[in-house]
């Protein structure tokens, strides 16, 4: 293995990234071990005199689920005179009128319920909660997001756990009313279940910081006030307030045996928006609070470490992508990652043990008899979470570079049963530019798999397969789930919907066609430009082990036949080491030397010394060739083709969108003429 050059640098980066990611993985298993030792919480004794409670419902454009939520809250088994309901309505569509009518309906039934509206959405959800606190009358604050359906027993089952005056908040586990809607919702469900039953359960009632999950929980109002109230500086106001409360000495509890059902996002673009908000917000909290946590004298060292991991865990996403990018480059350079033959097998075994294998073990111990169903869901989750790393990495960099916060809500469609359609829903989202990055990584992964195969490193190919399938899966859903153009006109004729489906079907085949074409061109380019140079490197490796000048000359001659005769691929900061003209001249000189050596008596001291010198010189030439390979990947031609390829995809999308807009205008005009 060479001790200099870009290969060594990339290899060291790969190893460092691997160790950092291993720390986060091992911490998950540590929490799983702690969670296994904890039993379910016993039912709390209901207080003789029930305290007053304010229920806050932060809503923004939720006309499909607002009725479901408010009805469920008004069915809570709790005295009306002790219950205040605040509908914190920041809507700017017809949700406003819908909520107003529902609130009026329940006011006539004797409920203390009001619709609170602000002049602007300043601070988004946190701003709405902060505004609601000004008129909150309850000793305790309960929060439900629009996608939740609280059960009637909720308040009475939770309120007794506040017997301890230092109990700041109590959190329930999230359930899923549409878990079996699709493979994607099953992946989302098992991801949230693992979060609650492993990570949250391990931290509950301990010296670790338990994170309030933003909904389906109860806060002591005095805890919120003492901790500084709701802040609007991050996208995860729940984590922000939770950590500040813990640093003030307040306690928290997760009731993992009490489940509050909610609707999972059924559109991939909505799920990506939700994940983006969580990833960006947690990094924002880390930038905001890490110094305070680290310097807090009363916070134990282990708690500080857990808080750091919790706030920064989404940093794993860009680290994962960096590894994904580096591995094929090293394989393409024919860089020796491990000297031992069993090295690749050890890497694959370790990956399986700490990745899918370890998670399946945790699932087996957590769900016991019903673990097989969750194992199937985890199979979906592997591809889903791998595909989302691009989306979440963009979120991480957004936070690190301090881009302006914008709380983009996760649209809810009121979808519960399999087969229900949401595509005509007004809140359906278009795909974003992030999808183009996902397509890039999908194609790069395909190239990486070919690189692993052709470089003789077949055991590394599976490391590329899972994330590549994930990128393809998420990119495909991003297009397939996207709403093109504006919503359907209310008075359009039925033929409009047919035209819409035709236009929608144009986009996906076009993009898939360019994916296939791009993959084919990438493979052809690799086979024509990179693979011959790797062959030359392989022949030079054989020349280094040759025992006679004749063998050495033959391998050098084979290497020359596969190398370019001239040119320097390092078009930026060129060096003589990567000049193929000079490399060929050196190889010609080596052939001449080997011909002269063949005339000498073999196995003499001069002969052996000359062979050793030639082997060393060939090794240097081989290192120079390997150094040139990364520059070929980043050649001006490849960069230009990549830009052109992305531009074509953008052009296809733009053309389809324009066609869609023209059809909408035609349909609208036709509908107006027919009235």
| Residues involved in catalysis | 90, 238
Q: What is the CA radius of gyration of the chain?
A: 31
SS3 assignment for 315-375: HHHHHHHHHHHHHHHHHHCCCCCCCCCCHHHHHHHHHHHHHHHHHHHHHHHHHHHHHHHHH
The length of the chain is 675
Rounded Cα–Cα distance for residues 167 and 354 (Å): 36
Q: Are β-strands 217-220 and 167-176 bridged in parallel, bridged antiparallel, or unpaired? A: antiparallel
Return the closest-CA partner of residue 61 out of 132, 4, 146: 146
H-state helical runs in 432-460: 434-454
Separation in Å, CA 368 to CA 144, 154, 409, 447:
31, 27, 36, 40
CA separation for the pair 568, 527 (Å, rounded): 19
Q: Return d(Cα 468, Cα 475) in angstroms, integer.
A: 11
Would you say 99 and 70 are in contact if contact means Cβ atoms under 8 Å apart? Answer: yes
Q: How far is CA 540 from CA 7, 52, 367, 509, 619, in A?
A: 18, 81, 55, 45, 7
Residues forming beta bridges with residue 255, ordered by sequence position? 172
All residues at 6 or more sequence positions from 276 whose CB lies less than 8 Å from its CB, including other chains:
391, 392, 394, 395, 408
Between CA 125 and CA 642 the distance in angstroms is 40
Q: Which DSSP category does 262 fall into?
A: E
Place of tokens 């609650």: 196
Cα dihedral 485, 490, 495, 496 in deg (nearest 10): -10
Residues 622, 538 contacting (CB under 8 angstroms): no
- Residue 463 near residue 447, CB atoms below 8 Å: no
The pairing of strands 217-220 and 112-116 is unpaired
The answer to whether the beta carbons of residues 90 and 62 sit under 8 Å apart is no
Q: How far is CA 575 from CA 131, 328, 350, 579, 584, in A?
A: 63, 24, 39, 7, 15
Q: Which of 194, 183, 195 is nearest to 268 (CA)?
A: 183
- β-pairing, 217-220 vs 140-143, is antiparallel
- Look at the block and give the residue holding tokens 């979808």: 415
CA distance 636 to 570: 10
């Amino acid at each position: 293995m060479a001790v200099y050059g870009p290969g060594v640098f990339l290899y060291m980066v790969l190893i460092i990234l691997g160790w950092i990611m291993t720390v986060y993985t091992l911490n998950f298993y540590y929490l799983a071990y702690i969670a296994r030792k904890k039993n379910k919480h016993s039912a709390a004794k209901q207080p003789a005199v029930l305290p007053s409670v304010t229920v806050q419902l932060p809503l923004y454009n939720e006309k499909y689920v607002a009725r479901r939520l408010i009805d469920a809250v008004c069915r809570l088994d709790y005295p009306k005179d002790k219950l205040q309901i605040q509908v914190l309505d920041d809507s700017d569509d017809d949700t406003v009128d819908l909520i107003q009518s529902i609130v009026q309906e329940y006011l006539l039934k004797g409920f203390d319920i009001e619709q609170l509206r602000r002049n602007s959405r300043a601070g988004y959800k946190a701003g709405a909660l902060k505004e609601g606190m000004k008129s909150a009358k309850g000793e305790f604050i309960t929060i439900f997001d629009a996608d939740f359906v609280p059960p009637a027993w909720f308040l009475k089952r939770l309120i007794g756990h506040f017997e301890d005056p230092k109990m700041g908040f109590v959190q329930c586990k999230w359930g899923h009313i549409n878990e079996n809607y699709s493979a994607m919702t099953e992946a989302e469900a098992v991801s949230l279940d693992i979060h609650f039953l492993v990570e949250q359960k391990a931290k509950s009632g301990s010296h670790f910081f338990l994170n309030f999950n933003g909904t389906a929980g109860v806060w002591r109002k005095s805890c919120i006030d003492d901790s500084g109230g709701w802040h609007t500086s991050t996208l995860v106001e729940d984590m922000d307030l939770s950590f500040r409360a813990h640093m003030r000495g307040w306690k928290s509890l997760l009731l993992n045996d009490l489940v509050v059902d909610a609707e999972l996002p059924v559109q991939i673009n909505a799920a990506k928006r939700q994940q983006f908000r969580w990833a960006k917000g947690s990094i924002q909290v880390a930038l905001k609070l890490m110094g305070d946590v680290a310097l807090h004298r009363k916070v134990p060292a282990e708690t500080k470490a857990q808080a750091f991991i919790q706030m920064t865990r989404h940093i794993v996403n860009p680290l994962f992508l960096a590894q994904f990018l580096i591995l094929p480059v090293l394989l393409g350079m024919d860089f020796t990652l491990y000297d031992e033959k069993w090295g690749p097998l050890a890497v694959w075994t370790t990956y399986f043990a700490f990745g899918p294998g370890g998670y399946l073990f945790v699932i087996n111990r957590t769900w016991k008899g019903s673990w097989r169903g969750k194992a199937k869901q985890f199979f979906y989750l592997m591809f889903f979470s791998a595909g989302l790393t691009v989306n979440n990495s963009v979120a991480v960099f957004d936070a690190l570079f301090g881009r302006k916060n914008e709380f983009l809500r996760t649209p809810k469609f009121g979808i519960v049963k399999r087969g229900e359609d949401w595509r005509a829903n007004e809140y359906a989202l278009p795909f974003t530019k992030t999808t183009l990055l996902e397509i890039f990584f999908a194609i790069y992964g395909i190239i990486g798999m070919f690189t692993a195969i052709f470089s003789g490193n077949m055991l590394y190919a599976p490391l590329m397969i899972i994330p590549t399938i994930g990128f393809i899966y998420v990119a495909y859903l991003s297009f397939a789930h996207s709403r093109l153009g504006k919503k359907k006109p209310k008075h359009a004729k039925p033929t409009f919907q047919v035209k819409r489906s035709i236009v929608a079907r144009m986009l996906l085949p076009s993009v898939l066609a360019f994916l296939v074409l791009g993959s084919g061109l990438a493979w052809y380019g690799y086979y024509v430009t990179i693979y011959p140079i790797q062959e030359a490197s392989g022949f030079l490796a054989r020349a280094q082990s040759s025992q006679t000048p004749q063998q050495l000359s033959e391998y050098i001659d084979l290497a020359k036949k596969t190398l370019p005769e001239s040119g320097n691929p390092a078009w930026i900061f060129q060096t003589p080491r990567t000049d193929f003209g000079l490399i060929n001249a050196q190889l010609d000189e080596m052939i001449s030397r080997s011909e002269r050596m063949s005339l000498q008596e073999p196995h003499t001291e001069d002969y052996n010394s000359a062979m050793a010198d030639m082997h060393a010189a060939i090794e240097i030439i081989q290192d120079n060739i390997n150094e040139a390979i990364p520059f070929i990947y980043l050649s001006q031609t490849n960069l230009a083709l990549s830009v052109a390829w992305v531009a074509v995809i953008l052009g296809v999308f733009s053309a389809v969108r324009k066609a869609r807009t023209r059809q909408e205008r035609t349909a609208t005009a036709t509908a107006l003429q027919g009235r």
